[in-house]
Structure 1
Amino acid sequence: MVLAATQSKADTTVNIKNPDSIDEIKNVIPPKVLKSKPLHEKVFKDSNSYMTEFLKDEHIQSIYNIFGVALFYIITYSISHDYFTHGRIYFGWLTIEAGFKGLPYAIACWFIMHLSAFLVYFGVSLWLKVNALSKKVIYKSCINTFFLAFYITTICASFALCALCCLHYNLRMGSALFILMESTRLVMKMHAFVRSTIGQTANPAPTVNSTIQLPGLQHYIYFLFAPVLIYRTSYPRTTTPIRWTFVWARSMEILAAVYYFIYFYERFIRPYYREFGVTTPHWSAVIECFYGMLMPSTLCLLLFVYMLLYSIQNLFAELLHFGDRRFFTNWWNVTNYRDYFIKWNCLVQDWLYEYIYKDCYSYLSSNRYVCSFLVVTISALVHELLIGLALQLFLPINYICFGILSYIIMFLPLRGRFGNVIVWLLIIFGVALQMSFYSMEAFAKMNCPKKLNDNLLDKLVPCIWTCIQNHRNSDK
């Protein structure tokens, strides 16, 4: 249950004297923050998901039913193919078993990650109590330095633990993505909690008077599992009972999306690229495979967005009575790339705006191009890191497409129907390009492993290049 605005007596408070004049506020807040244009604040309110509203329309329901019928025929095809080809029905189990290898280790790491999240809460609670008892500025500075070091160490150790778990236990893509995405989510939540709770009041000699209230542990636990990344002391809550038919429908959609991904891998990715590196790569075959991946990769993108931002988020929102369910807006109608980044994932976009863009705007530069570049760069680096650890390879295609090219395209003056067509052309091309290159690199890593030397450069050279060089040498 989310605590109300009035906190219990057990809550920790730190009282600071009320300001006597506006000059005292100016002494604390940087001058460029006062002069700059105020940035908008995220306001949470009761609202249904876009897809929930769309599914009330009979035309959208028909499209939804078509995907259900397509899944039925995919399942029956898989059953027939397995029976007549292998003599038994696998039902995608071999891919699931291989893709989620090492899942118990990932689950154990998940529990350790949540323990570190609790350490952050108790660390903030201790900071508030010690800070309230400290009177001298030098003591406050030492305390702030110590807790900042503790916080940074906890964040870095949490993510490093997940990375080492992926590499040491050789987790496959399903298990690796689970723990890496969960670790990223928890790190973002921990930073949101610390930044919102004590980030504005860590000045050792504050003159602005405010009262810091630390909500109870129950509210913090709710925040960790609620489908939200921005920390607030209260959120809109639904008062109606849990709709178990809604929960069941969302759960079935998650399973259906997973089976769709298995089907796409078994019927498109593996047949196209499993021989890459065994024979001499030819540009004609690479281009043919790329065009063969255009539609499957687009469907994978749509299903992934639907599963992650509708099915999973609404499932937890329903179970936790979370009211604000606008996890995405009408990103498919955008006419430029900037609106696409803003609308397609409101959860992550709101976090980046609240804790990266605003801080950059307030304390580094009020130039929106600089702030946008920092946001896009951090997001692209994290995406590249997750993909690289999940596949255990180094091929920065995602960073090139997302962190460099997308930032340039973001400021193109696109508008209207033409802009929407261009955006979709770029989205489909980028997704297919990334899926093709990562598939080639993953199978090249298996088919022609590198003979590594001691220098770092050899380890960073893509296996695709190694395969091409090996076949060139053998042809000579």
Structure 2
Amino acid sequence: MAIADDSAFSHSSLRRRPTATSDTSAEDLTKDSGSDDSISSAANPQPQKKQQLDSSLLKFAYRPSVPAHRRVKESPLSSDNIFRQSHAGLFNLCIVVLVSVNSRLIIENLIKYGWLIRSGFWFSSKSLRDWPLFMCCLSLVLFPFTAFIVEKLAQRKCIPEPVVVLLHIIITSTSLIYPILVILRCDSAFLSGVTLMLFACIVWLKLVSYAHTNYDMRALTKSVEKGEALPNTLNMDYPYNVSFKSLAYFMVAPTLCYQQSYPRTPYIRKGWVIRQLVKLIIFTGVMGFIIEQYINPIVQNSQHPFKGNLLYAMERVLKLSVPNLYVWLCMFYCFFHLWLNILAELLRFGDREFYKDWWNAKTVEEYWRMWNMPVHKWMIRHLYFPCLRHGIPKAVALLIAFLVSALFHELCIAVPCHIFKLWAFGGIMFQVPLVLITNYLQNKFRNSMVGNMIFWFIFCILGQPMCVLLYYHDLMNRKNKLD
């Protein structure tokens, strides 16, 4: 009888699958969990009954006559299934490989060049000669104060609107031209010049946003005073008010778009800030180590990319691509994640979407929309949509946005180098045809990462290493001519 009962149980289990009302343990044991030969055991509050079911299933359920293939399945690495799987193990493998390869490179570099890190490689006594740039940086606070006075007079209707616009044009232009003249007149270090130019560009972008926003708010206020209804989706900070407190907060906040109030967090996490500062110091040191120990020797031992042997130039670019990528990723992490989040935490600034997952961008256009959200929001708010409202086609508006971006990239690099070869400008404008190419590929091959591969190739291997070599050799040629 026992054998007959076991046989009946075995045949019934083969003929039908357990239903939702069946015993939980039996259902877990017979469920297919990705492999037809796997048996899962679940905890059961009745140990004796569980043992009986386990022994019955092990003895009869997986007999040779039981089908081993029951349904259609894709391989884990197939194109239809690869992004539905967890690849944590492969990610860990990549980390192990990176640590192994880079450890070998570090040892090889130390054997070949020795210890190249100089004491005070970020700051030395020679940096004291850059005091005119430091004073110029401090004097930039005068421009927001002047813009506030103009806006206060405009709010009180002491000066007409055309004069307000003209004064803001003068203020914003001076805030950018003045640092350029200071850098060009001083034989300053490259790092000092880049820092001042970045501050000047940030001040310019903030002042443009401040003037443009207040101009628009005055126009909306006049519409309200005339009795015109505003759409509910506008979410305007009403009533219009010019406050020095709001301007001061905006000038130090991690945003380029002015508004009278921002979403705020309830308190400051002091322990969190300290941890982020420690990370900032560590990654800044890593960035300096890579520059001094790897990038400088490679660049100094290379020729001009457009002169000499093409194969040798390709080898130099490829050799420079890896440390250059590490430095760029460290810079991105230090500035966009650590520094901006630290600043936001200290100011209780709530909106901390400083970047999106740009590393997953399938087109070049997606990358430029996601990697630098403060600049992207400024471009959309104060450049792209105003162009569309004035009847400019979308393609032309996009070209104007890239043109402005290219000009600022050129200023931030060429002015500190005292070299105007338009390498950075050309590199940014080269993104326009890449946008068209990757958009075409994305539309043709749906759900593909072809555009992402093109982006990484251009970004890591061709673009940045080439610009580094070009500017370095032009800078060396300029120094040789001066000497």
TM-score scaled by length of structure 1: 0.69
| Structure 1 residues 97-154: Cα deviation after superposition (integer angstroms, max 9, x where no partner) | 38956453333222211121111012101111125xxxxxxxx7xx223222221111
- Between the aligned partners of 2:154 and 2:251, the Cα distance in structure 1 is 20
Structure 2 counterpart of 1:381:
407
Structure 1 counterpart of 2:424:
398
CA RMSD between the two structures = 3.7
Structure 2 counterpart of 1:169:
186
- Displacement of 1:321: 0.5
Structure 1 counterpart of 2:162:
145
1:343 aligns with 2:375: no
- Between the aligned partners of 2:377 and 2:434, the Cα distance in structure 1 is 21
Greater Cα shift, 390-399 or 260-269: 260-269
Q: Which amino acid aligns with 1:372?
A: L
Identity of aligned residues (%): 19
- Between the aligned partners of 2:365 and 2:107, the Cα distance in structure 1 is 41
Structure 1 counterpart of 2:142:
115
- Between the aligned partners of 2:139 and 2:338, the Cα distance in structure 1 is 26
Structure 2 counterpart of 1:359:
386
- Between the aligned partners of 1:397 and 1:209, the Cα distance in structure 2 is 53
- Displacement of 1:60: 13
Measured at CA, do residues 406 and 263 of structure 1 come closer, stay the same or move farther in structure 2, by a change above 3 Å? same
Measured at CA, do residues 162 and 369 of structure 1 come closer, stay the same or move farther in structure 2, by a change above 3 Å? same
1:238 aligns with 2:271: no
1:263 aligns with 2:263: no
Structure 2 counterpart of 1:431:
464
Structure 2 counterpart of 1:471:
none
- Between the aligned partners of 1:99 and 1:352, the Cα distance in structure 2 is 38
Aligned mate of 1:298, from 325, 334, 340: 325
* C-alpha contact (below 8 Å) 2:253/2:344 kept by paired residues: yes
Measured at CA, do residues 304 and 284 of structure 1 come closer, stay the same or move farther in structure 2, by a change above 3 Å? same
Q: Which amino acid aligns with 2:398?
A: S
Which of structures 1 and 2 has the bigger CA Rg? Answer: 2
Structure 1 counterpart of 2:211:
194
Measured at CA, do residues 320 and 431 of structure 1 come closer, stay the same or move farther in structure 2, by a change above 3 Å? same
- Between the aligned partners of 2:261 and 2:345, the Cα distance in structure 1 is 17
Q: Which runs of 5+ in 1 are unaligned?
A: 1-57, 132-139, 452-476
- Between the aligned partners of 2:252 and 2:450, the Cα distance in structure 1 is 41
Measured at CA, do residues 60 and 111 of structure 1 come closer, stay the same or move farther in structure 2, by a change above 3 Å? farther
Aligned mate of 2:245, from 201, 218, 232: 218
1:315 aligns with 2:347: no
Could you say which structure has the greater relative contact order, defined with CA pairs below 8 angstroms and 6 or more residues apart?
Answer: 1
* C-alpha contact (below 8 Å) 1:123/1:147 kept by paired residues: yes
In structure 1, the residue corresponding to 2:279 is in which secondary structure? helix
Measured at CA, do residues 354 and 59 of structure 1 come closer, stay the same or move farther in structure 2, by a change above 3 Å? farther
TM-score scaled by length of structure 2: 0.68
- Displacement of 1:251: 2.1
| Structure 1 residues 67-96: Cα deviation after superposition (integer angstroms, max 9, x where no partner) | xx99x989x989x899x968xx96552454
Report how many residues are paired. 375
Aligned mate of 1:274, from 297, 300, 306: 300
Following TM superposition, the consecutive aligned residue runs of length 4 or more in structure 1 with deviations greater than 6 angstroms are 58-63
Structure 2 counterpart of 1:156:
173
- Between the aligned partners of 2:315 and 2:477, the Cα distance in structure 1 is 17
- Between the aligned partners of 2:280 and 2:126, the Cα distance in structure 1 is 16
Structure 2 counterpart of 1:325:
352
Q: Which runs of 5+ in 2 are unaligned?
A: 1-87, 229-237, 443-447
- Displacement of 1:328: 0.4
Q: Which amino acid aligns with 1:198?
A: Y
Q: Which amino acid aligns with 2:299?
A: Y
- Displacement of 1:182: 1.0
- Between the aligned partners of 1:99 and 1:395, the Cα distance in structure 2 is 27
